[in-house]
A = this chain, B = another copy of it.
Amino acid sequence: MFDLSSIFDRLFPICRSITGPGLRESLQILGEYIPLEMHGIASGQTVLDWTVPDEWSVESARLVGPDGSVICDFAQNNLHLVNYSVPHSASISLAELQPHLHSLPHLPDAIPYVTSYYSPRWGFCLTHRQRENLPEGQYTVDIRTKLQPGEVNFATSVLPGETEKTILISSYLCHPSMANNELSGPLGLLRMYERIKAMPHRHHTYVFLLCPETIGSICYLSRFGEEIGKHLVGGMVLTCLGGHRDTLSFKMSRQDWVATPGPIDRLARTFAAQYPNRFEIREFTPISGSDERQFCSPGFNLPVIQAARTVYGQFVEYHTSADDKRFMRIEQVERAADALSEFIEVFDLHDSFLENTHPYGEPQLGRRGLYPTINSPMNRGSSSDGFTDHRTTLNRLLMMLSLADGKRGLLEIAAKIGCGADQLIPILRELQKMDMIKTVLKT
Protein backbone atom coordinates (compact mmCIF):
# COMPACT_ATOMS: atom_id res chain seq x y z
CA MET A 1 0.00 0.00 0.00
CA PHE A 2 1.04 3.61 -0.58
CA ASP A 3 2.95 5.30 2.21
CA LEU A 4 0.48 8.11 2.74
CA SER A 5 2.63 9.78 5.36
CA SER A 6 5.47 10.53 2.99
CA ILE A 7 3.08 11.65 0.26
CA PHE A 8 1.53 14.00 2.82
CA ASP A 9 4.91 15.50 3.58
CA ARG A 10 5.55 16.25 -0.09
CA LEU A 11 2.18 17.93 -0.57
CA PHE A 12 1.73 19.87 2.65
CA PRO A 13 4.07 22.85 2.09
CA ILE A 14 2.77 23.72 -1.38
CA CYS A 15 0.64 26.86 -1.69
CA ARG A 16 -2.46 25.63 -3.48
CA SER A 17 -5.42 27.71 -4.57
CA ILE A 18 -8.32 27.14 -6.96
CA THR A 19 -5.87 27.88 -9.80
CA GLY A 20 -2.17 28.24 -10.34
CA PRO A 21 1.17 26.47 -10.13
CA GLY A 22 0.68 25.01 -6.63
CA LEU A 23 -2.46 23.21 -7.78
CA ARG A 24 -0.69 21.83 -10.84
CA GLU A 25 2.33 20.71 -8.85
CA SER A 26 0.10 18.90 -6.37
CA LEU A 27 -1.74 17.07 -9.14
CA GLN A 28 1.54 16.01 -10.70
CA ILE A 29 2.81 14.57 -7.43
CA LEU A 30 -0.42 12.56 -7.02
CA GLY A 31 -0.03 11.44 -10.61
CA GLU A 32 3.14 9.62 -9.62
CA TYR A 33 1.02 7.16 -7.62
CA ILE A 34 -2.06 6.61 -9.74
CA PRO A 35 -2.52 7.31 -13.44
CA LEU A 36 -4.09 10.74 -13.80
CA GLU A 37 -5.44 12.41 -16.90
CA MET A 38 -5.01 16.17 -16.59
CA HIS A 39 -7.66 18.67 -17.74
CA GLY A 40 -7.77 22.46 -17.89
CA ILE A 41 -10.39 25.07 -18.68
CA ALA A 42 -9.20 28.53 -19.66
CA SER A 43 -9.82 31.74 -17.74
CA GLY A 44 -12.81 33.64 -19.06
CA GLN A 45 -14.66 30.53 -20.18
CA THR A 46 -18.25 30.25 -19.04
CA VAL A 47 -18.78 27.19 -16.94
CA LEU A 48 -22.44 26.73 -16.00
CA ASP A 49 -23.45 29.93 -14.16
CA TRP A 50 -19.80 30.84 -13.47
CA THR A 51 -16.81 32.30 -15.32
CA VAL A 52 -13.37 30.73 -14.96
CA PRO A 53 -11.27 33.29 -13.04
CA ASP A 54 -7.79 34.45 -13.82
CA GLU A 55 -4.98 32.32 -12.50
CA TRP A 56 -3.32 33.42 -9.28
CA SER A 57 0.38 33.10 -8.54
CA VAL A 58 2.54 34.41 -5.75
CA GLU A 59 6.11 35.57 -6.05
CA SER A 60 6.40 36.86 -2.50
CA ALA A 61 4.39 38.65 0.13
CA ARG A 62 5.63 40.37 3.24
CA LEU A 63 4.30 42.67 5.89
CA VAL A 64 7.05 44.63 7.63
CA GLY A 65 6.61 46.54 10.90
CA PRO A 66 7.62 50.07 11.87
CA ASP A 67 10.90 48.78 13.28
CA GLY A 68 11.72 46.78 10.13
CA SER A 69 10.86 43.41 11.62
CA VAL A 70 8.95 40.99 9.40
CA ILE A 71 5.40 40.48 10.70
CA CYS A 72 4.11 38.11 8.03
CA ASP A 73 6.09 36.33 5.37
CA PHE A 74 4.37 34.15 2.75
CA ALA A 75 7.64 32.22 2.39
CA GLN A 76 7.38 31.16 6.02
CA ASN A 77 3.72 30.12 6.00
CA ASN A 78 1.55 30.49 2.94
CA LEU A 79 -1.53 31.00 5.11
CA HIS A 80 -0.19 34.47 6.00
CA LEU A 81 -1.42 35.82 2.68
CA VAL A 82 -5.14 36.11 1.96
CA ASN A 83 -5.62 33.61 -0.84
CA TYR A 84 -6.12 35.40 -4.18
CA SER A 85 -4.73 38.67 -2.78
CA VAL A 86 -4.20 41.27 -5.48
CA PRO A 87 -0.68 42.80 -5.71
CA HIS A 88 -0.20 45.73 -3.37
CA SER A 89 2.71 47.88 -2.21
CA ALA A 90 2.22 50.60 0.34
CA SER A 91 3.38 52.18 3.52
CA ILE A 92 0.42 52.65 5.81
CA SER A 93 -0.46 53.24 9.42
CA LEU A 94 -1.61 50.49 11.75
CA ALA A 95 -5.12 51.92 11.66
CA GLU A 96 -5.16 51.76 7.87
CA LEU A 97 -3.72 48.25 8.00
CA GLN A 98 -6.19 46.77 10.48
CA PRO A 99 -9.10 46.17 8.02
CA HIS A 100 -6.69 44.03 5.98
CA LEU A 101 -5.61 41.84 8.88
CA HIS A 102 -7.31 38.59 9.87
CA SER A 103 -6.87 36.77 13.17
CA LEU A 104 -8.94 34.65 15.51
CA PRO A 105 -9.55 35.86 19.07
CA HIS A 106 -10.92 32.46 20.04
CA LEU A 107 -7.82 30.65 18.71
CA PRO A 108 -5.06 33.14 19.46
CA ASP A 109 -2.15 30.96 18.29
CA ALA A 110 -3.54 29.90 14.93
CA ILE A 111 -3.27 31.65 11.60
CA PRO A 112 -6.67 31.74 9.89
CA TYR A 113 -7.20 30.74 6.26
CA VAL A 114 -9.02 33.49 4.34
CA THR A 115 -9.91 33.67 0.65
CA SER A 116 -11.38 36.24 -1.70
CA TYR A 117 -11.48 34.56 -5.06
CA TYR A 118 -14.02 36.65 -6.90
CA SER A 119 -13.68 40.08 -5.30
CA PRO A 120 -10.31 41.88 -5.53
CA ARG A 121 -8.87 42.27 -2.04
CA TRP A 122 -5.54 42.06 -0.31
CA GLY A 123 -4.77 41.08 3.25
CA PHE A 124 -2.65 39.23 5.74
CA CYS A 125 -3.55 36.51 8.23
CA LEU A 126 -1.70 36.17 11.51
CA THR A 127 -2.12 34.84 15.02
CA HIS A 128 -4.25 36.93 17.29
CA ARG A 129 -1.46 36.99 19.88
CA GLN A 130 0.88 38.57 17.29
CA ARG A 131 -1.73 41.04 16.15
CA GLU A 132 -2.44 42.28 19.65
CA ASN A 133 1.21 43.22 20.09
CA LEU A 134 1.53 45.24 16.90
CA PRO A 135 2.92 48.70 17.73
CA GLU A 136 1.66 51.97 16.29
CA GLY A 137 3.63 53.22 13.30
CA GLN A 138 4.06 52.86 9.58
CA TYR A 139 3.85 49.37 8.06
CA THR A 140 5.19 48.25 4.72
CA VAL A 141 2.97 46.08 2.60
CA ASP A 142 4.70 44.25 -0.22
CA ILE A 143 2.48 41.74 -2.00
CA ARG A 144 3.86 40.49 -5.31
CA THR A 145 1.14 38.33 -6.82
CA LYS A 146 -0.15 37.95 -10.35
CA LEU A 147 -3.68 37.52 -11.64
CA GLN A 148 -3.49 36.65 -15.28
CA PRO A 149 -5.23 34.40 -17.79
CA GLY A 150 -4.54 30.74 -17.19
CA GLU A 151 -6.78 27.83 -16.38
CA VAL A 152 -8.54 25.81 -13.76
CA ASN A 153 -6.95 22.36 -13.58
CA PHE A 154 -8.40 19.06 -12.52
CA ALA A 155 -7.51 15.40 -13.01
CA THR A 156 -9.34 12.12 -13.54
CA SER A 157 -8.50 8.43 -13.42
CA VAL A 158 -10.58 5.46 -14.53
CA LEU A 159 -10.70 1.81 -13.38
CA PRO A 160 -12.85 0.00 -15.94
CA GLY A 161 -15.38 -2.65 -14.88
CA GLU A 162 -17.74 -5.15 -16.44
CA THR A 163 -20.33 -2.53 -17.30
CA GLU A 164 -20.34 1.14 -18.22
CA LYS A 165 -22.32 1.94 -15.10
CA THR A 166 -20.10 4.27 -13.17
CA ILE A 167 -19.19 4.98 -9.57
CA LEU A 168 -17.48 8.32 -8.92
CA ILE A 169 -14.95 8.88 -6.15
CA SER A 170 -14.05 12.54 -5.86
CA SER A 171 -12.01 14.82 -3.67
CA TYR A 172 -10.80 18.40 -3.80
CA LEU A 173 -7.39 20.08 -3.89
CA CYS A 174 -7.28 23.86 -3.42
CA HIS A 175 -6.42 24.69 0.18
CA PRO A 176 -2.83 25.57 0.95
CA SER A 177 -1.03 24.08 3.94
CA MET A 178 -3.86 22.30 5.73
CA ALA A 179 -4.36 18.65 6.55
CA ASN A 180 -7.79 17.33 7.54
CA ASN A 181 -9.68 19.81 5.41
CA GLU A 182 -7.43 19.35 2.40
CA LEU A 183 -4.99 16.47 2.14
CA SER A 184 -7.03 13.80 3.95
CA GLY A 185 -9.36 13.64 0.95
CA PRO A 186 -6.83 13.12 -1.87
CA LEU A 187 -4.78 10.73 0.29
CA GLY A 188 -7.89 8.70 1.12
CA LEU A 189 -8.71 8.66 -2.58
CA LEU A 190 -5.28 7.19 -3.37
CA ARG A 191 -5.85 4.37 -0.91
CA MET A 192 -9.38 3.66 -2.16
CA TYR A 193 -8.01 3.51 -5.70
CA GLU A 194 -5.59 0.80 -4.56
CA ARG A 195 -8.30 -1.18 -2.78
CA ILE A 196 -10.84 -0.96 -5.58
CA LYS A 197 -8.20 -1.91 -8.13
CA ALA A 198 -7.59 -5.07 -6.06
CA MET A 199 -11.26 -6.18 -6.02
CA PRO A 200 -11.68 -9.62 -7.70
CA HIS A 201 -14.83 -8.59 -9.58
CA ARG A 202 -15.45 -4.98 -10.47
CA HIS A 203 -18.92 -4.87 -11.85
CA HIS A 204 -18.88 -1.10 -12.22
CA THR A 205 -16.51 1.35 -13.85
CA TYR A 206 -14.83 3.66 -11.36
CA VAL A 207 -13.99 7.29 -12.09
CA PHE A 208 -11.71 9.16 -9.70
CA LEU A 209 -11.73 12.95 -9.73
CA LEU A 210 -9.38 15.46 -8.11
CA CYS A 211 -10.24 19.14 -8.56
CA PRO A 212 -10.27 22.47 -6.77
CA GLU A 213 -13.44 22.76 -4.70
CA THR A 214 -16.55 24.38 -6.19
CA ILE A 215 -15.06 25.93 -9.36
CA GLY A 216 -13.23 22.67 -10.14
CA SER A 217 -16.30 20.47 -9.91
CA ILE A 218 -18.24 23.11 -11.81
CA CYS A 219 -15.58 22.91 -14.56
CA TYR A 220 -15.73 19.11 -14.48
CA LEU A 221 -19.52 19.12 -14.72
CA SER A 222 -19.47 21.75 -17.42
CA ARG A 223 -17.31 19.46 -19.53
CA PHE A 224 -18.34 15.95 -18.42
CA GLY A 225 -21.62 16.45 -16.57
CA GLU A 226 -23.86 15.25 -19.34
CA GLU A 227 -21.80 12.12 -19.94
CA ILE A 228 -21.30 11.21 -16.30
CA GLY A 229 -25.00 11.77 -15.71
CA LYS A 230 -25.81 8.99 -18.17
CA HIS A 231 -23.77 6.33 -16.41
CA LEU A 232 -23.45 7.36 -12.77
CA VAL A 233 -25.09 4.97 -10.30
CA GLY A 234 -23.48 6.50 -7.24
CA GLY A 235 -20.70 8.76 -6.13
CA MET A 236 -18.82 9.78 -3.05
CA VAL A 237 -17.01 13.02 -2.26
CA LEU A 238 -14.17 12.52 0.23
CA THR A 239 -13.46 15.27 2.71
CA CYS A 240 -12.05 15.59 6.22
CA LEU A 241 -11.29 11.88 6.61
CA GLY A 242 -8.93 12.36 9.55
CA GLY A 243 -9.15 13.76 13.04
CA HIS A 244 -10.18 12.38 16.36
CA ARG A 245 -13.68 11.09 15.67
CA ASP A 246 -14.20 7.36 15.46
CA THR A 247 -17.44 7.40 13.50
CA LEU A 248 -17.56 8.03 9.77
CA SER A 249 -20.34 10.25 8.59
CA PHE A 250 -22.21 10.13 5.30
CA LYS A 251 -23.86 13.26 4.03
CA MET A 252 -26.76 12.04 1.95
CA SER A 253 -27.41 13.18 -1.60
CA ARG A 254 -30.13 15.59 -2.65
CA GLN A 255 -32.05 12.61 -4.04
CA ASP A 256 -32.42 11.34 -0.52
CA TRP A 257 -33.46 14.78 0.66
CA VAL A 258 -36.32 14.97 -1.78
CA ALA A 259 -37.43 11.45 -0.88
CA THR A 260 -36.15 9.69 -3.99
CA PRO A 261 -33.02 8.09 -2.57
CA GLY A 262 -30.92 6.06 -4.94
CA PRO A 263 -29.00 2.91 -4.09
CA ILE A 264 -25.97 4.65 -2.62
CA ASP A 265 -28.14 6.71 -0.30
CA ARG A 266 -29.97 3.60 0.77
CA LEU A 267 -26.74 1.72 1.33
CA ALA A 268 -25.38 4.54 3.46
CA ARG A 269 -28.51 4.44 5.60
CA THR A 270 -28.25 0.68 5.82
CA PHE A 271 -24.68 0.82 7.05
CA ALA A 272 -25.53 3.51 9.56
CA ALA A 273 -28.46 1.48 10.86
CA GLN A 274 -26.46 -1.72 11.00
CA TYR A 275 -23.31 -0.27 12.52
CA PRO A 276 -24.39 2.78 14.49
CA ASN A 277 -21.00 3.29 16.10
CA ARG A 278 -19.13 3.11 12.85
CA PHE A 279 -21.32 5.15 10.51
CA GLU A 280 -23.75 7.99 10.90
CA ILE A 281 -25.93 10.03 8.59
CA ARG A 282 -26.03 13.74 7.93
CA GLU A 283 -29.02 14.90 5.93
CA PHE A 284 -28.36 16.65 2.65
CA THR A 285 -28.17 20.40 2.75
CA PRO A 286 -27.25 22.85 0.00
CA ILE A 287 -26.18 25.38 2.61
CA SER A 288 -22.71 24.07 3.22
CA GLY A 289 -20.50 21.19 2.18
CA SER A 290 -18.08 20.24 -0.52
CA ASP A 291 -18.44 19.39 -4.19
CA GLU A 292 -21.58 17.33 -3.62
CA ARG A 293 -23.33 20.71 -3.68
CA GLN A 294 -22.49 20.89 -7.39
CA PHE A 295 -23.15 17.24 -8.23
CA CYS A 296 -26.44 17.50 -6.36
CA SER A 297 -27.56 20.83 -7.81
CA PRO A 298 -31.14 20.39 -9.01
CA GLY A 299 -30.24 20.29 -12.70
CA PHE A 300 -27.75 17.43 -12.31
CA ASN A 301 -29.28 15.88 -9.20
CA LEU A 302 -26.68 13.12 -9.18
CA PRO A 303 -26.65 10.40 -6.51
CA VAL A 304 -23.46 11.63 -4.89
CA ILE A 305 -22.98 11.33 -1.16
CA GLN A 306 -20.14 12.77 0.87
CA ALA A 307 -18.02 10.88 3.37
CA ALA A 308 -16.17 12.53 6.24
CA ARG A 309 -14.83 11.74 9.65
CA THR A 310 -14.19 14.99 11.51
CA VAL A 311 -16.48 17.27 9.58
CA TYR A 312 -15.63 20.79 8.32
CA GLY A 313 -17.09 23.44 10.56
CA GLN A 314 -17.40 21.02 13.44
CA PHE A 315 -13.81 21.29 14.72
CA VAL A 316 -12.29 24.47 15.96
CA GLU A 317 -9.06 24.01 13.97
CA TYR A 318 -11.08 24.18 10.73
CA HIS A 319 -9.59 26.61 8.17
CA THR A 320 -6.60 27.50 10.31
CA SER A 321 -2.96 26.57 10.60
CA ALA A 322 -3.93 24.27 13.50
CA ASP A 323 -5.41 21.82 10.98
CA ASP A 324 -2.10 20.04 10.62
CA LYS A 325 -0.77 16.49 10.30
CA ARG A 326 -0.88 15.90 14.04
CA PHE A 327 -4.53 16.90 14.13
CA MET A 328 -5.40 14.82 11.06
CA ARG A 329 -3.43 11.61 11.85
CA ILE A 330 -2.51 9.46 8.86
CA GLU A 331 -3.87 6.25 10.38
CA GLN A 332 -7.31 7.81 10.75
CA VAL A 333 -7.29 8.59 7.02
CA GLU A 334 -6.24 5.00 6.28
CA ARG A 335 -8.97 3.54 8.48
CA ALA A 336 -11.53 5.74 6.77
CA ALA A 337 -10.39 4.70 3.31
CA ASP A 338 -10.51 1.03 4.30
CA ALA A 339 -14.03 1.26 5.69
CA LEU A 340 -15.24 3.21 2.68
CA SER A 341 -13.67 0.64 0.35
CA GLU A 342 -15.63 -2.12 2.09
CA PHE A 343 -18.74 -0.01 1.67
CA ILE A 344 -17.93 0.30 -2.04
CA GLU A 345 -17.38 -3.45 -2.37
CA VAL A 346 -20.90 -4.07 -1.15
CA PHE A 347 -22.21 -1.23 -3.30
CA ASP A 348 -20.64 -2.89 -6.34
CA LEU A 349 -23.28 -5.66 -5.87
CA HIS A 350 -26.18 -3.25 -5.39
CA ASP A 351 -27.78 -3.95 -8.75
CA SER A 352 -27.41 -7.72 -8.65
CA PHE A 353 -30.21 -9.99 -7.53
CA LEU A 354 -29.68 -13.33 -5.82
CA GLU A 355 -31.53 -16.33 -7.19
CA ASN A 356 -32.01 -19.69 -5.50
CA THR A 357 -31.58 -22.30 -8.23
CA HIS A 358 -33.89 -24.78 -6.41
CA PRO A 359 -36.80 -22.57 -5.48
CA TYR A 360 -39.67 -25.11 -5.42
CA GLY A 361 -39.99 -26.59 -1.94
CA GLU A 362 -37.04 -26.63 0.40
CA PRO A 363 -33.89 -27.99 -1.20
CA GLN A 364 -32.83 -31.22 0.51
CA LEU A 365 -29.87 -29.85 2.41
CA GLY A 366 -29.23 -33.09 4.27
CA ARG A 367 -27.81 -34.88 1.24
CA ARG A 368 -25.56 -31.89 0.56
CA GLY A 369 -24.11 -32.09 4.05
CA LEU A 370 -25.68 -28.79 5.06
CA TYR A 371 -28.30 -30.10 7.51
CA PRO A 372 -28.30 -32.68 10.35
CA THR A 373 -29.69 -36.08 9.24
CA ILE A 374 -31.05 -36.99 12.65
CA ASN A 375 -33.90 -35.11 14.29
CA SER A 376 -34.09 -35.25 18.07
CA PRO A 377 -35.39 -33.00 20.87
CA MET A 378 -32.19 -33.77 22.74
CA ASN A 379 -30.46 -30.46 22.42
CA ARG A 380 -33.44 -28.32 23.11
CA GLY A 381 -33.63 -28.99 26.80
CA SER A 382 -31.98 -25.94 28.15
CA SER A 383 -33.56 -23.43 25.86
CA SER A 384 -35.46 -23.19 22.63
CA ASP A 385 -33.92 -19.84 21.82
CA GLY A 386 -31.40 -21.27 19.42
CA PHE A 387 -34.18 -22.87 17.48
CA THR A 388 -34.74 -19.90 15.23
CA ASP A 389 -31.58 -18.04 16.11
CA HIS A 390 -30.78 -15.75 13.20
CA ARG A 391 -27.14 -15.66 14.14
CA THR A 392 -26.10 -19.15 13.20
CA THR A 393 -24.67 -19.83 9.79
CA LEU A 394 -27.23 -22.56 9.04
CA ASN A 395 -30.12 -20.31 9.84
CA ARG A 396 -28.72 -17.47 7.77
CA LEU A 397 -28.23 -19.93 4.92
CA LEU A 398 -31.88 -21.07 5.20
CA MET A 399 -33.07 -17.49 5.20
CA MET A 400 -30.88 -16.55 2.28
CA LEU A 401 -32.22 -19.47 0.24
CA SER A 402 -35.78 -18.45 1.07
CA LEU A 403 -35.21 -14.81 0.19
CA ALA A 404 -33.13 -15.37 -2.95
CA ASP A 405 -36.04 -15.35 -5.37
CA GLY A 406 -34.30 -13.49 -8.16
CA LYS A 407 -36.04 -10.27 -7.13
CA ARG A 408 -33.93 -9.28 -4.15
CA GLY A 409 -30.34 -8.22 -3.69
CA LEU A 410 -27.84 -8.84 -0.96
CA LEU A 411 -28.83 -5.71 0.88
CA GLU A 412 -32.50 -6.44 1.11
CA ILE A 413 -31.72 -9.97 2.17
CA ALA A 414 -29.30 -8.83 4.84
CA ALA A 415 -31.82 -6.31 6.11
CA LYS A 416 -34.43 -9.03 6.34
CA ILE A 417 -32.07 -11.37 8.15
CA GLY A 418 -30.98 -8.57 10.41
CA CYS A 419 -27.26 -8.67 9.79
CA GLY A 420 -24.78 -6.75 7.71
CA ALA A 421 -24.52 -7.43 4.00
CA ASP A 422 -20.82 -7.94 4.50
CA GLN A 423 -21.55 -10.76 6.96
CA LEU A 424 -23.44 -12.69 4.30
CA ILE A 425 -20.68 -12.63 1.72
CA PRO A 426 -19.01 -15.90 2.93
CA ILE A 427 -22.36 -17.76 2.87
CA LEU A 428 -23.11 -16.37 -0.56
CA ARG A 429 -19.76 -17.56 -1.87
CA GLU A 430 -20.34 -21.06 -0.41
CA LEU A 431 -23.80 -21.33 -1.98
CA GLN A 432 -22.46 -20.04 -5.28
CA LYS A 433 -19.81 -22.75 -5.24
CA MET A 434 -22.54 -25.40 -4.79
CA ASP A 435 -24.57 -23.86 -7.62
CA MET A 436 -27.41 -23.22 -5.22
CA ILE A 437 -27.43 -19.46 -5.70
CA LYS A 438 -26.57 -17.35 -8.70
CA THR A 439 -26.51 -13.60 -9.17
CA VAL A 440 -28.52 -11.96 -11.92
CA LEU A 441 -28.19 -8.42 -13.07
CA LYS A 442 -31.12 -6.15 -12.51
CA THR A 443 -31.89 -4.92 -15.99
Contact of A380 among B221, B318, B375 (CB under 8 A): B318
B376, A112: Cβ atoms closer than 8 Å: yes
A426 at the interface (CB under 8 A from B): no
Stretch at the interface among A87-95, A115-123, A163-171: A115-123
A399, B361: Cβ atoms closer than 8 Å: no
B374, A116: Cβ atoms closer than 8 Å: yes
Contact of A362 among B294, B359, B380 (CB under 8 A): B294
Bound form: Cα–Cα A363–B214 in Å:
11
A313 at the interface (CB under 8 A from B): yes
Stretch at the interface among A144-152, A185-193, A340-348, A402-410: A402-410
Are A374 and B119 also in contact (CB < 8 A) when A104-B381, A106-B382, A360-B48 are? yes
Bound form: Cα–Cα A114–B376 in Å:
5
Chain B residues whose CB sits within 8 angstroms of the CB of A48 once the complex forms: 358, 360-361
Chain B residues whose CB sits within 8 angstroms of the CB of A364 once the complex forms: 49-50, 118
A200 at the interface (CB under 8 A from B): no
Chain B residues whose CB sits within 8 angstroms of the CB of A107 once the complex forms: 381
Bound form: Cα–Cα A378–B320 in Å:
10
A203 at the interface (CB under 8 A from B): no
A398 at the interface (CB under 8 A from B): yes
The CB with the most chain B CB atoms within 10 A, among A300, A359, A376, A403, is that of A376
A380, B313: Cβ atoms closer than 8 Å: yes
Bound form: Cα–Cα A101–B87 in Å:
97
Stretch at the interface among A134-142, A237-245, A269-277, A285-293: A285-293
Bound form: Cα–Cα A288–B371 in Å:
13
Bound form: Cα–Cα A301–B405 in Å:
9
A375, B287: Cβ atoms closer than 8 Å: no
Chain B residues whose CB sits within 8 angstroms of the CB of A68 once the complex forms: none
Bound form: Cα–Cα A118–B367 in Å:
8
B360, A49: Cβ atoms closer than 8 Å: yes
B377, A104: Cβ atoms closer than 8 Å: yes
B405, A298: Cβ atoms closer than 8 Å: yes
A384, B313: Cβ atoms closer than 8 Å: yes
Chain B residues whose CB sits within 8 angstroms of the CB of A218 once the complex forms: 361-362
A374, B114: Cβ atoms closer than 8 Å: yes
Nearest CB of chain B from residue A121's CB, rounded to whole Å: 7
* 1/0 contact string of A216-260 vs chain B (CB within 8 Å): 011001100100000000000000000000000000001001100
A402, B114: Cβ atoms closer than 8 Å: no
Bound form: Cα–Cα A405–B296 in Å:
11
B285, A116: Cβ atoms closer than 8 Å: no
B286, A401: Cβ atoms closer than 8 Å: yes
A116, B297: Cβ atoms closer than 8 Å: no
Chain B residues whose CB sits within 8 angstroms of the CB of A401 once the complex forms: 286, 298
A373 at the interface (CB under 8 A from B): yes
Chain B residues whose CB sits within 8 angstroms of the CB of A222 once the complex forms: 361
B287, A378: Cβ atoms closer than 8 Å: no
Bound form: Cα–Cα A314–B380 in Å:
10
User: What would 9 A/B residue contacts be, using CB atoms closer than 8 Å?
Assistant: A112-B376, A113-B376, A114-B375, A115-B375, A116-B374, A286-B401, A298-B401, A298-B404, A316-B381
Not counting A286-B401, A288-B387, a sample of 8 additional A-B residue pairs whose C-beta atoms are within 8 angstroms of each other reads A107-B381, A118-B367, A293-B362, A298-B356, A298-B403, A299-B405, A301-B405, A313-B380
